[in-house]
Chain A
Amino acid sequence: MFRFTPYVIKSLWRRRARTLLTVSGAAVALLVFCFVGSVQEGLRRLTEDEHAQRTLIVFQENRFCPTSSRLPHDYADRIRTVPGVADVVPVLVWTNNCRAILDAIVFNGLPVGKLRSARDLQLTSGDWTEFAGRHDAALVGRTVARRHNLAMGEQFSIGEISVRVAGVFESAVPAEENLIYTDLPFLQYTPGMNAAGLVTQHEVHLTDDAEPEAVARAIDQALKAGPVATTTRRKGAFQASVLSDLVDLIGFAHWLGYACVALVLSLVATTTVMSVQDRIREHAVLQTLGLRPARIFRLVIAESLLMCVFGGVLGTIAALALIASGGMAIGAEGVTIAFRPSWQLGAMGIAVSLAVGVLAAIVPAFQAARTQIVSALRNA
């Protein structure tokens, strides 16, 4: 098979304008496809992770934006008494915008001690003592730091909040890297927050044998008598419902991804059909020399595959690079979706290019292989 590789490559190169246009079309389409794929991957991680399934969020009933949910801080003590609850972390959330935006900035205030135990953060710069030592200290997620050029020791203000960067962290949970953590009391007493003694939500960690739904019901039941009614859900379900507008949008983008694949398919198929039609006589000559019809079939497939995979790999690499450069975080109501390059995404991009390359060429390759030699030689 590989003895004919030079022929395949030279054939593509001879029609380089057409080949390059097709390759760049495939690249752009695969870029969009991978990008859409990464948004979905981020969303899936947010709602389906083990952590998202085994953690509960207690929120004020019928509220969505973190600025409108106000729960007494001391609900934590009552929640802790519910069977199945291992730990409770009160969290105050502040975000610059409750609507769906690309540049969401989200502050989470947690008690300093809890932050270390409840979150798995690795500091890439700064240290914990610095964070614990200053009341306005903040730990900044890697993605936020990169986006806003924040480094250790810098002062950072947004709205009423003004913090000093005590460290930058990375996390195994990509969405965490879109957050800025501060001490809970600092955020509660920030002027304009009016949140003394209040938190946005309580995050509940369960014992190993606890059944999440049952514990959630028990918590809502226990707090029923309190001043503020609550709704308790798994973290995954909570995030999905908070992001529900975005989920619809992403579902739509998902179709856009498929449309891109269909577009490459028709683009590559058109190019292949044209190249086969241009070379009816050439294929007849090759058959006369003794190339089997199956070989002609494979040669046509190889040409299409080469264009598609070349373009696809370029597009996939570009998409991964774009995602890795961390240009944005889609978020709404204090929950953000992290984009992160992944092997699965790369493999997916390449698999799609391979499949499209073969699919696009099957019909023209079949036609080329079936060419009747004599009539092809006569008519050309």
Chain B
Amino acid sequence: MALVEIRNLTKCFRKGDETITPLDNVDLDIESGQFVALMGASGTGKSTLLNLLAGIDRADQGSINVAGTEITRLSRSRLADWRAANLGYIFQTQNLIPVLTAYENVELPLLLLPLSGAERRKRVEVALEAVGLTDRVDHYPRQLSGGQEQRVGIARAIVAHPAIIVADEPTGSLDATTSEQIQVLLGRLNRELGMTMLMVTHDQQVASIGTRCLRLDRGRIIEATPKRHGRQEQPHAMAR
């Protein structure tokens, strides 16, 4: 059984009498340890899919099963608890709490888990080490560069050892060099720590760090993993 099983997922938005259906009966499986890059034209519903998987938005129809938990059926509070324990979310920008230091920002998700102070400290240090920011622990977000800020955000997303990490255009607002560094970092986290990831991106090069590439087009998901990886899978069954 796959780590993530999405079945018949539908989401539509109503604006007046017009209805947009970015996700129309989508099916998708993500295996544990995969690094999935999700591409597609603007407005095709990539963020919508990612937010549904992250449990911060509600589907109109269908199911999302993550590691045995059917998250579409959870109440708001239970869903929050689920996110605290199972989800790492990497935002595009402005994702840190401005009044907290880098260290405190990374520690934040751990405050929701039953961990001792010593254990929290150890985990925060490991996470900051992993993103290479051990020398910036006492800095506030305004004292960090865009790339550093993003790395703190990544440390915060991995610190609670979540089952899955989602990232919505994590390099979208960074310059080329910084973007490169973040890509390398994400690739390493997947390879070395075995983290399962779903990343939305517009950039073919960024997508190439993934182990699998998907394309969202008119409400359907298409496998687009280049042949050179040798892991080409059958095009996904696309239900209507």
Which residues of chain A have a CB within 8 Å of any CB of chain B?
3-4, 6-7, 10-11, 13-14, 281-282, 285-295, 373-374, 377, 380
- Shortest Cβ distance from A289 into B: residue: B109
Contact yes or no, A289 B83, CB < 8 A: yes
Contact yes or no, B108 A289, CB < 8 A: yes
Cα-based distance from A244 to B210 in the complex (angstroms): 86
Whether A288 contacts B89 in the complex (CB less than 8 A), given A11-B99, A374-B56, A374-B57, comes out as yes
Task: Tally chain B residues at the interface, Cβ within 8 Å.
Answer: 27
Q: Which 7 A-B pairs have the closest CB atoms?
A: A290-B84, A10-B99, A373-B56, A290-B83, A292-B80, A3-B111, A374-B57
In the complex, B209 has a CB within 8 A of chain A? no
Contact yes or no, A14 B99, CB < 8 A: yes
CB distance from A21 to the nearest CB of B (A): 19
Whether A6 contacts B104 in the complex (CB less than 8 A), given A289-B109, A291-B80, comes out as yes
Chain A to chain B contacts (Cβ below 8 Å), 27 pairs: A4-B111, A7-B97, A7-B108, A11-B99, A13-B99, A281-B94, A285-B97, A286-B97, A286-B108, A287-B56, A287-B80, A288-B54, A288-B83, A289-B83, A289-B112, A289-B156, A290-B80, A290-B83, A290-B87, A292-B81, A293-B76, A294-B77, A295-B80, A373-B56, A374-B51, A377-B56, A380-B94
Cα-based distance from A51 to B138 in the complex (angstroms): 66
- Shortest Cβ distance from B86 into A: residue: A290
Cα-based distance from A319 to B76 in the complex (angstroms): 46
Cα-based distance from A294 to B77 in the complex (angstroms): 8
Contact yes or no, A290 B97, CB < 8 A: no
Known: A7-B97, A292-B80. 20 other contacts (CB 8 A): A7-B99, A11-B99, A14-B99, A281-B94, A282-B97, A282-B98, A286-B97, A288-B83, A289-B108, A290-B81, A290-B87, A291-B84, A291-B112, A293-B80, A373-B51, A373-B56, A374-B57, A377-B56, A377-B91, A380-B94
Cα-based distance from A14 to B111 in the complex (angstroms): 21
Q: Which of A6, A282, A288, A291 has the most CB of B within 10 A?
A: A288
In the bound complex, residues from chain B placing their C-beta under 8 Å from that of A374 are: 51, 56-57
In the complex, B95 has a CB within 8 A of chain A? yes
In the complex, B85 has a CB within 8 A of chain A? yes
- Shortest Cβ distance from B96 into A: residue: A285
Cα-based distance from A88 to B51 in the complex (angstroms): 87
| Overall SS of chain B's interface | helix
In the bound complex, residues from chain A placing their C-beta under 8 Å from that of B112 are: 289-291
**Binary per-residue interface labels of chain B (66-81) against chain A in the complex, 1 for a CB within 8 Å, 0 otherwise:** 0000000000110011
Cα-based distance from A238 to B187 in the complex (angstroms): 89
- Shortest Cβ distance from B110 into A: residue: A3
Cα-based distance from A286 to B108 in the complex (angstroms): 9
In the bound complex, residues from chain B placing their C-beta under 8 Å from that of A289 are: 83-84, 89, 108-109, 112, 156
- Shortest Cβ distance from B82 into A: residue: A290
- Shortest Cβ distance from A15 into B: residue: B99
Q: Which of A282, A290, A292 has the most CB of B within 10 A?
A: A290
In the complex, B100 has a CB within 8 A of chain A? yes
In the bound complex, residues from chain B placing their C-beta under 8 Å from that of A287 are: 56, 80
Contact yes or no, B100 A10, CB < 8 A: yes
Contact yes or no, B95 A285, CB < 8 A: yes
In the bound complex, residues from chain A placing their C-beta under 8 Å from that of B97 are: 7, 282, 285-286
Contact yes or no, B104 A290, CB < 8 A: no
- Cβ contact of B91, chosen from A4, A11, A285, cutoff 8 A: A285
Cα-based distance from A11 to B140 in the complex (angstroms): 13
Cα-based distance from A149 to B96 in the complex (angstroms): 62
In the bound complex, residues from chain A placing their C-beta under 8 Å from that of B108 are: 7, 286, 289
CB distance from A269 to the nearest CB of B (A): 22
Contact yes or no, B109 A290, CB < 8 A: yes
- Shortest Cβ distance from A293 into B: residue: B76
**Binary per-residue interface labels of chain B (36-58) against chain A in the complex, 1 for a CB within 8 Å, 0 otherwise:** 00000000000000010010110
CB distance from B165 to the nearest CB of A (A): 12
CB distance from B121 to the nearest CB of A (A): 13
Cα-based distance from A292 to B100 in the complex (angstroms): 19
In the bound complex, residues from chain A placing their C-beta under 8 Å from that of B85 are: 290
